[in-house]
Structure 1
């Protein structure tokens, strides 16, 4: 089998070519529902015409292809909207980082130790033995003053 037989060939699109929503969905790989959502969110231009006369053009397909590329690059819809307006994606506030799991050990009144056992190399099973040793160090330091 030749390499060209493995790759689907799409016909060159004319800028004047018109597509129905179903045709645009087939060409873009997005469902019609998703395309309508993108339009409602301002990520894709509204179709030309109205109701049954509504149609899409090559620019709509290009916009959907661009959205797919931005999504693959990890951009949120908010960032895509900014990019579409010509703003840098960095203009959109980055989402808060995922929550990190921390272990809190209360060593003495007013003294706590916060650690991530996996990151600092202490096995979680070793924490119960660590607590009295740290408390003893604190007691020594307090008695030295």
Structure 2
């Protein structure tokens, strides 16, 4: 199956990146040059994926130099997004005992609902064991 071909203008529209910015990314080598030359030049879905990844990283506040490293394969933890007024955060609160409360953000912790329940159950068991041993 042949990959769809996109013009420069289509690439800008599909990614939401200005033509000036996209030309700059191509110039500094963040985005590959088009396939072909002059009027026959075109881009593929791989170009779109790379541009969207660059856009995601720049919106997270990552420098273009660090983005270059990431795109070349260097592992990188993404910084936590800064919270803005109106953002919603869902958390689970577990009242363990007098003076002990546990707050968990399952999404940030990367826990499925099953794993979260398992974790909370383990916390309660550990607390009961500590109380019994005291």
Q: TM-score, normalised by structure 2?
A: 0.53
Aligned to 1:45, which of 20, 32, 40? 32
Distance in 1, matches of 2:41 and 2:70, equals: 26
Q: Is the 1:15–1:57 contact (alpha carbons within 8 Å) kept by the matching residues of 2?
A: no
| Greater radius of gyration (CA) | 1
Distance in 2, matches of 1:77 and 1:62, equals: 16
- Which residue of structure 2 aligns with residue 18 of structure 1? 5
Distance in 2, matches of 1:65 and 1:26, equals: 12
Distance in 1, matches of 2:29 and 2:23, equals: 10
Matched pairs, number: 77
Deviation per residue, 1:90-141 (Å, 9 max, x gap) = 8xxxxxxxxxxxxxxxxxxxxxxxxxxxxxxxxxxxxxxxxxxxxxxxxxxx
Q: Is 1:35 equivalent to 2:22 in the alignment?
A: yes
Distance in 1, matches of 2:23 and 2:67, equals: 16
Deviation per residue, 1:15-54 (Å, 9 max, x gap) = 6101100111110101122111101111111110011111
Distance in 2, matches of 1:67 and 1:15, equals: 25
Q: Is 1:55 equivalent to 2:42 in the alignment?
A: yes
Give the alignment's Cα RMSD to 1 decimal. Answer: 1.8
Q: Is the 1:15–1:59 contact (alpha carbons within 8 Å) kept by the matching residues of 2?
A: no
Q: Is 1:79 equivalent to 2:81 in the alignment?
A: no
Q: Is the 1:15–1:58 contact (alpha carbons within 8 Å) kept by the matching residues of 2?
A: no
Q: TM-score, normalised by structure 1?
A: 0.49
What residue ranges of structure 2 are gaps of 5+ in the alignment?
78-134
